[in-house]
């Protein structure tokens, strides 16, 4: 189906960026009985018959010095900065990344930082296995490389259809006024497609506590 023309020029970049992350976090998991190609998925969500179901096993970038904590789910994770791997947003298993492309910012800077991790990798729970338990009002802590810790408050936490994520202004819209974290993983609340991909993402938006 052909998309409608974009009237606002700025949306071209927004949607272009979002289409990359649209594929993120469908999970490096498999779904039994979902079809012959369903077992071969990555965090980008592209069903590629020749690809492995595992996240990349190559060299993992060094931590950037940022540490993400979500006390409500007992999560503490070193963050590493990464762009695309072979054209895909696909953090290695056991890691949490912040995305360096498409004008997204370093975590803690003014603007929107996009942070991504897996729910499942290699058939096992990964770092964001419990992200969907996070709710509005909970705290998120971010420690910068200089040791400064900022407390954020979750202002939005919900399941988002992947099509809707591509134009989600809180994730991809212009933001030059607030330090925002957009924390994203896959979610099975809306079920799975025939190829085994999850239909939705879980999106947590956090902004500095006031």
Q: Which two tokens stand for residue 110?
A: 């003014």
Average pLDDT (99-121) is 93
State how far the Cα of 37 lies from the Cα of 43, in Å rounded to an integer.
15
Q: Which helix (H) or strand (E) holds 17?
A: helix 10-22
Record the pTM. 0.76
- Predicted confidence at residue 59, as pLDDT, reads 65
State how far the Cα of 119 lies from the Cα of 109, in Å rounded to an integer.
26
Determine contact, residues 121/56, Cβ cutoff 8 Å. no
Alpha helices in the chain (DSSP H): 10-22, 162-165, 169-172
- Predicted confidence at residue 195, as pLDDT, reads 66
- Predicted confidence at residue 153, as pLDDT, reads 99
Domains annotated on the chain, with CATH: 10-208 (2.40.260.10)
Q: If pLDDT is split at 50, 70 and 90, which confidence band does 84 have?
A: confident
Q: Which residue has the higher pLDDT, 198 or 67?
A: 67
How open is the CA angle 157-162-164, to the nearest 5 degrees? 75
HSE-up (13 A, CA, CB side) for residue 120: 18
Q: If pLDDT is split at 50, 70 and 90, which confidence band does 196 have?
A: low
State how far the Cα of 172 lies from the Cα of 18, in Å rounded to an integer.
7
- Total residue count of the chain as it appears in this document: 210
Q: If pLDDT is split at 50, 70 and 90, which confidence band does 136 have?
A: very high
For β-strands 149-161 and 124-125, DSSP reports them as unpaired
Residues 17-63: pLDDT tens digits? Answer: 545 554 554 444 332 222 222 223 333 333 222 222 345 555 667 78
């Amino acid at each position: 189906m052909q998309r409608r023309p974009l009237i606002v020029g700025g949306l071209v970049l927004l949607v272009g960026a979002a289409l990359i992350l649209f594929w993120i976090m469908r999970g490096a998991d498999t779904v039994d009985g979902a079809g012959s190609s369903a077992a071969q998925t990555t965090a980008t969500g592209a069903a590629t018959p020749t690809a492995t179901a595992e996240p990349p096993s190559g060299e993992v970038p060094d931590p950037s010095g940022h540490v993400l904590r979500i006390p409500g789910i007992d999560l503490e994770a070193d963050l590493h900065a990464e762009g695309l791997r072979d054209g895909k947003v696909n953090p290695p298993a056991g890691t949490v990344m912040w995305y360096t492309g498409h004008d997204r910012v370093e975590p803690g800077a003014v603007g929107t930082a996009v942070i991504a991790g897996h729910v499942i990798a290699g058939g096992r729970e990964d770092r964001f296995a419990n992200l969907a338990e996070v709710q509005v009002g909970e705290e998120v802590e971010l420690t910068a490389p200089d040791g400064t810790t900022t407390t954020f408050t979750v202002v939005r936490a919900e399941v988002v259809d992947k099509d809707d994520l591509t134009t989600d202004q809180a994730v991809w819209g212009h933001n030059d006024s607030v330090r925002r974290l957009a924390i994203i993983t896959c979610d099975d609340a809306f079920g799975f497609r025939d190829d085994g991909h999850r239909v939705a993402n879980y999106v947590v938006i956090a902004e500095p506590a006031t």
